[in-house]
Structure 1
Amino acid sequence: MTDGGTYKVDWVVLDIEGTLMPTSGVHVVLYDYARPRLGPWIDAHPADPVVAGAVADIRADAGLPETATTAEIVAVLHGWMDADRKATPLKALQGLIWQRGYADGDLVSEYFPDVVPRLREWHAADVPMAIFSSGSVAGQIASFSSTTDGDLTGLFRHHFDTVNAGPKREARSYAAIAEGLGGPAPDRVLFLSDVPAELDAAAEAGWRTVGLARPGEPYAGADFGGHRAVESLADIEVTRA
């Protein structure tokens, strides 16, 4: 599991958690930061349309009445976090909180050692890159804006999440992303992720795929089926089509 192959592409689309950043960076650092701040954030921003919309969606999804308290809403959110449910209203609220945390200097992203050198190399070679993560676009941009390697937001031309693209395990989401990228031929888009089901969905949409089976990560020993799998971005060669 060392040869990821060489790819001549129009776009590289990358997952974040488990692919660029250790899962613990999300499930421990970011989740623990957001958890105690959810209730105060909801109470402090009742007129924010993103917050109000998220709260309405949480009530509807959980079957809570209009009179549900913030504590009851937060209890639902904590349950979703414990189950690692990729719920859009949860991701929206987390993204707002993380955005503030990065801006205030409370949070600094750290990526796998191979990631930033490889991304910078591809960027220098004029390979267009985009992100597709279950985390909100706002949270993604905030994460890349404050890292141990500086501001990396300039490396990416587009950001996609479950709101502007759709679920990560459905082929239609990847078709929507391709449209957002300007309609490249599907086989000219390369998707990198650590989750086999996401790779399956991208492949169903006609994309090329490589799995990241990083040692110590949840999907390190997963069955990647027909997808090539590597342990590092350094194992993948990419050039502009």
Structure 2
Amino acid sequence: MSPAWIVLDIEGTTSSTESVHVGLYAYARTRLGPYIDAHRDDPEVADAVRETGGETTGETVAILHAWMDGDVKATPLKTLQGKIWADGFAAGDLTAHFFPDVPPALRDWRRRGRRLAVFSSGSVASQRPWFRHTPDGDLSALIERRFDTVNAGSKREPASYDRIAAALESPPGELLFLSDVPAELDAAAAAGWRATGVRRAGELSERADFGAHLVIASFEELS
């Protein structure tokens, strides 16, 4: 039986890690301080700054940079990055990267009646423009639901997948999760989901041990 929903990871699965860590991270890094100072009246920005524990903009930026260097999935960092990236995409400074097989597969799955969602460590705010501003046009309308570590929880905890299944109002067995990270697949499978590994050439997943999980090298293998 075909899955009712296909839930997608982004980094290393639909898109290259480099496009996120080099392209997006570098773009946000130098803009964190000026953005914070220019948007202090934004409640989300104010909350994010407060949650870092920094007293001044300089201290806050130093904490955020340390999190970036350590690849820490901290909510305040994700919130601020997402807002900066959204502005960058809207201004035409940024364009999302997708592996060549991804856009046609997403369109094909939708034509076949599959419903699509995203579960990424990147914030929901950053997911929207990422799918909207691509070389293949606007893909955002193909994605019905978006989840991140704020509204769902850790990607390596089965409880997060329980929450998503409840939000999608679907039995776990009708949900398929695609990711390049074996630990995430293990968590999804533990929650009763179908889970398929994505092994991309040139990515860390190229050398990953996916254990007993089904593994594909291209979304075309599922189409």
TM-score (norm 2): 0.98
Measured against aligned partners, the alpha-carbon deviations of 1:126-166 in whole angstroms (never above 9, x if no partner) come to 21000000111110001111110111111011000111111
**Aligned partner of 1:174: which letter?**
Y
1:29 paired with 2:23, answer yes
**Paired residue for 1:113?**
100
Measured against aligned partners, the alpha-carbon deviations of 1:93-123 in whole angstroms (never above 9, x if no partner) come to 0000000000011001120011001111001
Measured against aligned partners, the alpha-carbon deviations of 1:180-216 in whole angstroms (never above 9, x if no partner) come to 112x111110000000111011011100000011111
**Aligned partner of 2:179: which letter?**
S
**Aligned partner of 1:161: which letter?**
D
Q: How does 1:61-210 map to 2 (within 5 A)?
A: 64=54, 68-182=55-169, 184-210=170-196
1:55 paired with 2:42, answer no
**Aligned partner of 1:107: which letter?**
L
- Which residue among 13, 18, 22 is the counterpart of 2:12? 18
Measured against aligned partners, the alpha-carbon deviations of 1:7-28 in whole angstroms (never above 9, x if no partner) come to 6111100000000000001000
1:226, distance to aligned residue in structure 2 (A)? 1.4
1:31, distance to aligned residue in structure 2 (A)? 0.3
**Aligned partner of 1:46: which letter?**
R
Provide structure 1 residue ranges, at least 5 long, that are not aligned to the other structure.
1-6
Question: CA–CA distance in 2 between the matches of 1:14 and 1:235?
Answer: 15
**Paired residue for 1:3?**
none
Question: CA–CA distance in 1 between the matches of 2:74 and 2:5?
Answer: 27
Question: CA–CA distance in 2 between the matches of 1:170 and 1:53?
Answer: 26
Question: CA–CA distance in 1 between the matches of 2:138 and 2:153?
Answer: 27
Question: CA–CA distance in 1 between the matches of 2:41 and 2:190?
Answer: 41
Aligned residues: 223
Question: CA–CA distance in 2 between the matches of 1:26 and 1:171?
Answer: 25
**Paired residue for 1:212?**
198
Q: Which has the higher contact order (CA 8 A, sep 6+)?
A: 1
**Paired residue for 2:35?**
41
Question: CA–CA distance in 2 between the matches of 1:104 and 1:41?
Answer: 15
Question: CA–CA distance in 1 between the matches of 2:67 and 2:217?
Answer: 30
